[in-house]
Amino acid sequence: MTRTFNAFEAFEIAEQIERNGARFYRKAAELFDDASVSGLFLKLAEWEKVHEELFADMRKQLSEEGRRLRTFDPQDAPLDAKAMAGLAAFGLKSDPSGELHGDESRQDVLKIAVQKEKDSIVYYTGLKDFVPPDAGREKIDDVIKEELRHIGILNQALEQCE
């Protein structure tokens, strides 16, 4: 049975993605003694925390603006919750940093991070379909731009490894 998905739930998932992303980056920072590498991962963790707060604020706004902005006709919903959550980069696992075992190279961790950022962009692009234009859709575009910037920073760090 397919369960419909709404913007409120989509923001809850986005918040969890960002929490998990921050956790992943903090764990990645612990893996390296090189201050520039660990500092990069700690900075990314900070940025993910800012995104989490943004999505929490947007979810709060939906709550305050009422049911009209939160619910959708099932025919209009682009994906069910399970499919949408499956797009989530850092997923709904309680601790995706568990993917890091400590034996990864800097290059390995950077490549994993780039892929997770790309997957986040896919999720957030889908998330926009749940948010009416007057409920802050442009803020999601801003987060997507930030995630693209993260990919650029990570790719630059990857190039320095080669």
Which residue type sits at 71? T
- Decide if 121 contacts 47 (C-beta within 8 A): no
Closest listed residue to residue 89, CA positions, set 151, 161, 37: 151
Which residue type sits at 84? M
Q: Dihedral sign for Cα 105, 108, 113, 116, please.
A: negative
pTM: 0.77
Closest listed residue to residue 116, CA positions, set 12, 11, 23: 23
Q: For residues 132 and 119, which has the higher predicted lDDT (pLDDT)?
A: 119
The structural domains of the chain, ordered by start, are 7-67+80-91+98-161 (1.20.1260.10)
Tens digits of residue pLDDT in 57-93: 888 877 766 555 444 444 454 455 445 545 554 555 5
Which residue type sits at 51? H
Two tokens, residue 89: 């980069």
Tens digits of residue pLDDT in 17-51: 888 899 999 999 999 999 999 999 999 999 999 99
